[in-house]
Amino acid sequence: MPRRVNLPGADELFRATAPQREVPAAPEQESAAAARASGRVKHDEKMTVYLTSEELLALEQARIQLRAELGRKIDRGRFVRAAIAAALEDLAAQGRDSDVARRLADS
């Protein structure tokens, strides 16, 4: 007598597992949320950034220095997200006088 096994259907196999996107927040809420580094959470979006060898070496040295001083593992992604959060916060507070605005105006 052959045994029949119940297998899940395609709807069950390919169901959405990621949380649904929320309604966009008001602009003032977006800037406050963007100013915080997200830390160790699952990130749904990806961005590729190209660096020179010198920039990558400086990033690695800073990451290792922070690891030694803070006693915590700091990966490149966390480091970059924290730097972006700091730049966005400075831009929101200082506008054209922010460090990032000055650096971009000079380049």
Domain residue ranges of the chain, discontinuous segments joined by +: 74-106
**Could you tell me how many residues make up the chain?**
107
- Whether the full predicted model's pTM is greater than 0.85, yes or no, is no
Taking only the tens of pLDDT, the chain with its 107 residues reads 678 877 777 777 777 766 656 555 555 545 544 556 666 677 788 889 999 999 999 999 999 999 999 998 888 999 999 999 999 999 999 999 999 999 999 87
Q: How many CA atoms lie within 13 A of 13 on its CB side?
A: 4
> What is the model's pLDDT at position 19?
61
